[in-house]
Structure 1
Amino acid sequence: MAISRATTEKVKERADIEEVVNDYVPLKKKGQNLWACCPFHNEKSPSFSVSPAKQIYKCFGCGKAGDPIQFVMDIEGIGFNEAIRHLAQKYGIEIEEDNIGSQEDLQAFNERESLYIVLNFAKDFFVQNLNSEEGKSIGLSYFKERGFNQSIIEKFDLGYALEGWDHLHKAAKAAGYSEELLLKAGLILQKEGDANRFYDRFRGRVTFTIHNLGGKPIGFGARILTQDKKQPKYINSPETEVYHKSDILYGIFQAKKSIREKDNCYLVEGYTDVISLHLSGIENVVASSGTSLTENQIKLIKRFTDNVTVLYDGDSAGIRASLRGIDMILEGGLNVKAVVFPEGEDPDSYARKVGSSAFSSYLEKNAQDFISFKIGLYAEEAANDPIKQADLIKQVVQSISKIPDPVIRSVYIRQSAHLLEIDEEIIQAELNKIYLKGQKDQFFKEQRRQEETFVEDLIPSKEEPTSQSFLIELQEREMLRLLVNYGFEMVSDELNVCQYLLQETVDLTFQTPIYDKILGIYKTALAEGVLPQPEYFLQHQDSEVKKEVINMITRKYELSTLWESRYQIFTHHEADDLAKTVYDSILHLKKKVIKKMLEEAKVKIKEAEQENADENIVTERLGIYMELKKYQVEIDKQLGIVISF
């Protein structure tokens, strides 16, 4: 099912890079651009830049770059068509599609898109089942007992899977979905030993829809309502192409806006905990859905806030079993607080017991930083036992060692020393032991890696570029950067940058494929009467071309305009003297090319001498070398270089 060109163009015109990125990452203004910690790799200080003027993003750490559509593709891990659909939904743009038959529609979608479609069908099916007689008496009545109103049921796409073996299977088949697709989506199972018998995975259970960041259904959790001990209380969708349990958090779609606004994320364990907090007016909450917290889930939270408050059930044994999650959150660079509910209570039960106002008040009054929380958890049993006291100190120090920020780490060292009533030096000494062990482990790990690759290192790659080739590549990039940024600026009364650069390099062939491609696109555009400004390349279908051009038109650091406007401090800009900048760029490129040719000429002369070649051949090659040398000396003079090298 192809999206029409008209729809694509509408999305491109409407999608705003600041609005799109802000759905995933909190941006802060600095200079002309907006900045954030990159959502694609771990970092402590922001290197991810968004330019509202140019409608592009660029990470100076990992190199990711693109426009709003590319950002959605990168962040969601989806294709171009799906990114267009995502943005069309965000901006309320009607999607126009080419007229293709229904069977062809299904075949035209890639596997991921097909999975999203059939999972959305299943979500609608389960939701509609709540209106059936069975759904009302069992599913809806369960939700009402828990205090879930119609608004919250719709907000979270809660539903019901009918009793019986194949209600969903039959409905999906009637709608045109194949067993193969239903199996891949984890919605049905195949009977063992019978290739032609299928049955529903979810039967006689209330369903909780799991959404991705964009709000699309990607899986389901389902709770049984009977006391059948032979069946698990909850079952979940299996891992699929679109659903990876370790990468998603339940409720993240409904919570992301509130998390950013409140600058805090409440972390709970189950589906009903999330929903109960929403009923209490607390929307910045997500759940790990009963699984152990993962590194990718922590990264997902960090896209929206640096602060996490973990809500623990009133069960000390369960709390201790899950403490590793706090260390992982600290290691991920987030600040952690914890709230423990009274014995026998969990967020869901306690919210229903005390009401919205009292529940919110309890969270505020009982939130404590992880040091106080961890010490308080073991303080009583360690009070009169020196061995347990020592163990507690080591556990606290272990947690502090996970904090990447040295300033925050030093604050916690001081606090823990005060609460544990020991000297700061003791805690620092324990920390140093941990860091020293870590360095040793890293050393031996690196040593093993070097030993494993020793044989490979003895055989250098034939395709490894020479230093001169690399320098030429850099100079080619610099020339193209000037061409893309200043192509139509004048360098004289009758000559602009692109005319000058192209006529001066007409005899040069770019050795770097991507730069040669960009130069070719530039020349083709000129031949067609198009003036290729940076925006021209940002609309190009080739993502590599777009990324390279973004790299050429963005800078990590900018001089503040206040320097000149307020403080009268004037600095030199490359655009102030384009004629010299462009002229020097051409000379440097030619110099690098000549130097490479000189090295190649030397090799040929040496080969001729070693092979006792004809004297005329040696003389001819020497002549070529001397001509190249003269050219190099002439270029050096123009560059102001006294000694050629």
Structure 2
Amino acid sequence: MRINPDTVERIKQTADIVEVVGDFVSLKKKGANYSACCPFHNEKTPSFNVNPARQIYKCFGCGAAGDAIKFVMDVDGVGYGEALRYLANKYQIEIEEEELTDEETLRQNARESLYIILNFAKNHYQHQLYNTEEGQAVGLSYFQERGFSEGVRKKFELGYSLDNWDAFTREALEKGYSAEVLEKAGLLIHKEGSKTAGYDRFRGRVIFPIHNVAGKTIAFGARILKTDKSQPKYLNSPETEVYHKSDILYGIFQAKNAIRQQEHCYLVEGYTDVISLHQAGIENVVASSGTSLTVEQIRLIARFTPNITILYDGDIAGIKAALRGLDLVLEEGLNVNIVLFPDGDDPDSYVRKVGAEAFKNYIKVSAQDFITFKTQTLLQDAGNDPFRLAAVIGEVVNSIVKIPDAIKRQVFFHRTAEMMKVDEQMLISEGNKLLRKLHTPKQQERNSRSNASFPEGLADLGVSSPGSFSEDGPPQDFFLQEEEEPQVQRSKVSYQEEAFIRLLVLHGARELEPNITVCQYVLGEIEGIDFKDTVFNHLLTLFREHYSRNTVLSTDYFLNHHESQIRDLAIGWGTEKYELSELWKDKFEIFVPFETDVLDRTAFINILRLKKAFIEEKMKACQQQLLQAGTEEEEIAVMNEFMFYKGISMAAAKELGSVIG
């Protein structure tokens, strides 16, 4: 089924870009706009900008841009139709649909088919929990014994799968779902050697649906309740097109708002840990589902907060689990604390034993930053053995150097030196050695590339190659910027063409004076000129064609254009990377005019710069012709033409205030 155009338009008009993006990342108000660290690439400094006035987003780091629908498509990896359905559900808009042709039905996104069958499975398991004798006697009794109220069971959409070989599969096939899709979703397992017979993956287990950030069911965790040593206690969905275990955290959908509001995230190991804490009113909690913490999971938390406290079991295995892989958290710039519970307890059992308030107080007094925790744990294990103590220093320093922030590193070097009773400068020196080892190979590669074209003899004069460190560079900080892709060289004319088209796209419909729009003025000034850049020339042609019919294209026309390249250009032009502080005007009484305040002058300057760039291209052509001239008469003719263009260029430069050499 296809969503009809009227419903699509209603969704577009209703969806608020700040609310939609805010469901996935933690936005901070910045002047008239909002900013955040980009969810589409790894960054420490926010370069992701949301413009509520134009209802668009733009990342100045990776270039991602679009409207609310495009954001949902990209952040959740779904098709256009599924993004519309998500927004319609969010804003409670009734969807009116139209029939698809057979060909269109065949082309439906395979990912959407998986989402549909997984949602069907979730509803099936919930129905079995509440509406069958087995579900009530086994599954519901188990959840009630754990103290899970009806509210929290509904919140996490808990369910039960009957202890039957193919109860779910038979119902799904009867509803028209194919065995192929069931298998792709990880719900059906085919018997060995058979392509027709199969059985339910999760039979005879309580079901924990796993949701993505948008709230869609993407997988299941299932726990067996009977004693059967031939079966694993927990069984999870396999990797599918919509479920990658390393990318998701259990409970992130239910916890994201609380994490954002409290600016803190608790990380636990299991499903029941998350649900028990929610039951106790502690909602800013997610689980790694028993897997080692991954970079993708850390970055998922970082969308909502830089502060994380890891709650682990208090046994030896729990301590080792707490130490394992946490350098990854430090590398991503998060502030990480550790809490260990008394032996024999995990977050689930401890909160049920002491209650919510005592649990919160225990976390408050027991939390230690990761570096302090690691130092104390390793020192206790090393005792007085000098060799093991030396190894501890190496271990701790190795963790400290993973922290991107230089000030934080300095604080931890100082604190660690006091704890270990060693010289602080010695720790810093060891840290620098590790940093050099880490970055020297990459730096040598860069130096070799830059030195390949570096003029010989300049080094003898004290000139450093572009890729080398100078004495003025920081001797203790070797954190280097990621290498950027080489930029394609653009001509001066291309830049002026872009500035001209940008002016038309953003301000073409504005009036410079009564009944004279920017579009009318600038198009009249460049009559007969075509642009060299194909995209800019296409946009110029669009403006000319519509203006010939007395229509001026609006900014919204380009922000919603069907061609992604044009749409992305318009979003980039319409999004300001920096905002002027309000203090300039309110406190210091400094008035800085905006582009719209001096639009007439801006339009004139753009036209002049464009014409100057074209003239300079003609001058370059004359210089080439001069080299090829065969007679003195031809040389004189070309020189006269060159001097004519030179005179125009100098006049334009004088008007623009350019310095002429």
**Same fold? TM cut 0.5:** yes
Q: In structure 1, how many angstroms separate the alpha carbons of the residues matched to 2:449 and 2:172?
A: 51
Match of residue 39 from structure 1: 39
User: Secondary structure of 1:343's match?
Assistant: coil
Match of residue 136 from structure 2: 136
User: Secondary structure of 2:98's match?
Assistant: coil
1:394-431 residue CA offsets vs partner (Å, 9 max, x unmatched)? 21111111111112222222221222222211211111
1:41-81 residue CA offsets vs partner (Å, 9 max, x unmatched)? 23333222222222222222222222222222222122222
Match of residue 542 from structure 1: 563
1:284 matches 2:252: no
User: Secondary structure of 1:314's match?
Assistant: coil
- Residues 444 and 182 (structure 1), Cα distance of their counterparts in 2 relative to 1, 3 Å cut: farther
Q: Is the 8 A contact 2:584 2:591 kept in 1?
A: yes
User: Secondary structure of 1:153's match?
Assistant: helix
Please show how residues 227-246 of structure 1 align to structure 2 within 5 Å: 227-246=227-246
Q: In structure 2, how many angstroms separate the alpha carbons of the residues matched to 1:352 and 1:491?
A: 70
Match of residue 293 from structure 1: 293
- Residues 507 and 280 (structure 1), Cα distance of their counterparts in 2 relative to 1, 3 Å cut: same
User: Secondary structure of 2:580's match?
Assistant: coil
- Residues 237 and 466 (structure 1), Cα distance of their counterparts in 2 relative to 1, 3 Å cut: closer
Q: Is the 8 A contact 2:497 2:536 kept in 1?
A: yes
1:290-336 residue CA offsets vs partner (Å, 9 max, x unmatched)? 11111111111011101000011112234224423321111111100
1:559 matches 2:558: no
Match of residue 116 from structure 1: 115
Match of residue 536 from structure 2: 515
Q: In structure 2, how many angstroms separate the alpha carbons of the residues matched to 1:358 and 1:494?
A: 72
Please show how residues 606-645 of structure 1 align to structure 2 within 5 Å: 606=627, 608=628, 628-629=645-646, 631-641=648-658, 643=660
Q: Is the 8 A contact 2:273 2:348 kept in 1?
A: yes
How far off its partner does 1:581 sit? 2.3
How far off its partner does 1:117 sit? 0.5
User: Secondary structure of 2:89's match?
Assistant: helix
Please show how residues 388-427 of structure 1 align to structure 2 within 5 Å: 388-427=388-427
1:126 matches 2:142: no
Q: In structure 2, how many angstroms separate the alpha carbons of the residues matched to 1:414 and 1:578?
A: 56
Q: In structure 1, how many angstroms separate the alpha carbons of the residues matched to 2:398 and 2:353?
A: 37
1:505-536 residue CA offsets vs partner (Å, 9 max, x unmatched)? 23222222332333333334434554433223
Q: Is the 8 A contact 1:20 1:68 kept in 2?
A: yes
- The one-letter code sitting in structure 2 at the alignment partner of 1:31 is G
User: Secondary structure of 1:160's match?
Assistant: strand
- Residues 163 and 619 (structure 1), Cα distance of their counterparts in 2 relative to 1, 3 Å cut: farther
Match of residue 338 from structure 1: 338
Q: In structure 2, how many angstroms separate the alpha carbons of the residues matched to 1:364 and 1:642?
A: 64
Q: In structure 2, how many angstroms separate the alpha carbons of the residues matched to 1:50 and 1:465?
A: 26
- Residues 107 and 149 (structure 1), Cα distance of their counterparts in 2 relative to 1, 3 Å cut: farther
- Residues 232 and 620 (structure 1), Cα distance of their counterparts in 2 relative to 1, 3 Å cut: farther
- Residues 379 and 81 (structure 1), Cα distance of their counterparts in 2 relative to 1, 3 Å cut: same
How far off its partner does 1:643 sit? 4.1
Task: Percent identity, please.
Answer: 50
- The one-letter code sitting in structure 2 at the alignment partner of 1:232 is P
How far off its partner does 1:219 sit? 0.6
Match of residue 454 from structure 1: none
Q: Is the 8 A contact 2:509 2:553 kept in 1?
A: no
Match of residue 465 from structure 2: none
1:578 matches 2:577: no
User: Secondary structure of 2:249's match?
Assistant: coil
1:139-169 residue CA offsets vs partner (Å, 9 max, x unmatched)? 2222222222222221111111222222121
Q: Is the 8 A contact 1:280 1:360 kept in 2?
A: no
Q: Is the 8 A contact 1:2 1:108 kept in 2?
A: no
Q: Is the 8 A contact 1:277 1:351 kept in 2?
A: yes
1:380 matches 2:401: no
1:87 matches 2:108: no
Q: In structure 2, how many angstroms separate the alpha carbons of the residues matched to 1:151 and 1:641?
A: 70
1:187-218 residue CA offsets vs partner (Å, 9 max, x unmatched)? 11222222222222222111110001111100
Match of residue 160 from structure 1: 160
Q: In structure 2, how many angstroms separate the alpha carbons of the residues matched to 1:197 and 1:601?
A: 79
User: Secondary structure of 1:164's match?
Assistant: coil
TM-score, structure 1 normalization: 0.90
Q: In structure 2, how many angstroms separate the alpha carbons of the residues matched to 1:560 and 1:516?
A: 36
User: Secondary structure of 2:207's match?
Assistant: strand
- The one-letter code sitting in structure 2 at the alignment partner of 1:91 is Y
Match of residue 505 from structure 1: 526
Match of residue 455 from structure 2: none
RMSD: 2.7
- Residues 466 and 120 (structure 1), Cα distance of their counterparts in 2 relative to 1, 3 Å cut: closer
Q: Is the 8 A contact 1:280 1:359 kept in 2?
A: no
Match of residue 23 from structure 1: 23
- The one-letter code sitting in structure 1 at the alignment partner of 2:612 is K
- The one-letter code sitting in structure 1 at the alignment partner of 2:126 is V
- Residues 639 and 234 (structure 1), Cα distance of their counterparts in 2 relative to 1, 3 Å cut: same
- Residues 624 and 324 (structure 1), Cα distance of their counterparts in 2 relative to 1, 3 Å cut: farther
1:610-638 residue CA offsets vs partner (Å, 9 max, x unmatched)? xxx79998887777656655554554454
How far off its partner does 1:561 sit? 4.0
Q: In structure 2, how many angstroms separate the alpha carbons of the residues matched to 1:442 and 1:338?
A: 33
- The one-letter code sitting in structure 2 at the alignment partner of 1:370 is F
- Residues 602 and 343 (structure 1), Cα distance of their counterparts in 2 relative to 1, 3 Å cut: same
User: 2:496 aligned to 446, 457, 475, which one?
Assistant: 475
Match of residue 456 from structure 2: none
Q: Is the 8 A contact 2:271 2:289 kept in 1?
A: yes
Match of residue 614 from structure 2: 593
Structure 1 stretch 258-267 or stretch 546-555: which is displaced more? 546-555
1:258 matches 2:279: no
Structure 1 stretch 109-118 or stretch 334-343: which is displaced more? 109-118
Q: Is the 8 A contact 2:128 2:159 kept in 1?
A: yes
- The one-letter code sitting in structure 1 at the alignment partner of 2:561 is H
Q: Is the 8 A contact 2:310 2:322 kept in 1?
A: no
Q: Is the 8 A contact 1:266 1:285 kept in 2?
A: yes
Please show how residues 416-495 of structure 1 align to structure 2 within 5 Å: 416-444=416-444, 446=446, 467=489, 469-491=490-512, 495=516
Match of residue 459 from structure 1: none
How far off its partner does 1:238 sit? 1.4
Q: In structure 2, how many angstroms separate the alpha carbons of the residues matched to 1:493 and 1:376?
A: 75
Q: In structure 1, how many angstroms separate the alpha carbons of the residues matched to 2:444 and 2:192?
A: 49
- Residues 125 and 494 (structure 1), Cα distance of their counterparts in 2 relative to 1, 3 Å cut: closer
Q: Is the 8 A contact 1:161 1:202 kept in 2?
A: yes
1:223 matches 2:223: yes
How far off its partner does 1:640 sit? 4.8
- Residues 162 and 447 (structure 1), Cα distance of their counterparts in 2 relative to 1, 3 Å cut: farther
Q: Is the 8 A contact 2:24 2:214 kept in 1?
A: no
How far off its partner does 1:7 sit? 1.4
Gaps of 5+ in 2: 452-485
Q: Is the 8 A contact 2:510 2:517 kept in 1?
A: yes
1:147 matches 2:139: no
Match of residue 210 from structure 1: 210
- Residues 376 and 104 (structure 1), Cα distance of their counterparts in 2 relative to 1, 3 Å cut: same
1:410-465 residue CA offsets vs partner (Å, 9 max, x unmatched)? 222222122222221121111111111112132356579999xxxxxxxxxxxx99
Q: Is the 8 A contact 2:49 2:58 kept in 1?
A: yes
1:443-488 residue CA offsets vs partner (Å, 9 max, x unmatched)? 356579999xxxxxxxxxxxx9985x53222111111222223324
Q: Is the 8 A contact 2:265 2:305 kept in 1?
A: yes
Q: In structure 1, how many angstroms separate the alpha carbons of the residues matched to 2:276 and 2:177?
A: 35
TM-score, structure 2 normalization: 0.88
How many residues are aligned here? Answer: 627
- Residues 387 and 127 (structure 1), Cα distance of their counterparts in 2 relative to 1, 3 Å cut: same
- The one-letter code sitting in structure 2 at the alignment partner of 1:191 is K
- The one-letter code sitting in structure 2 at the alignment partner of 1:21 is V
Q: In structure 2, how many angstroms separate the alpha carbons of the residues matched to 1:426 and 1:140?
A: 60
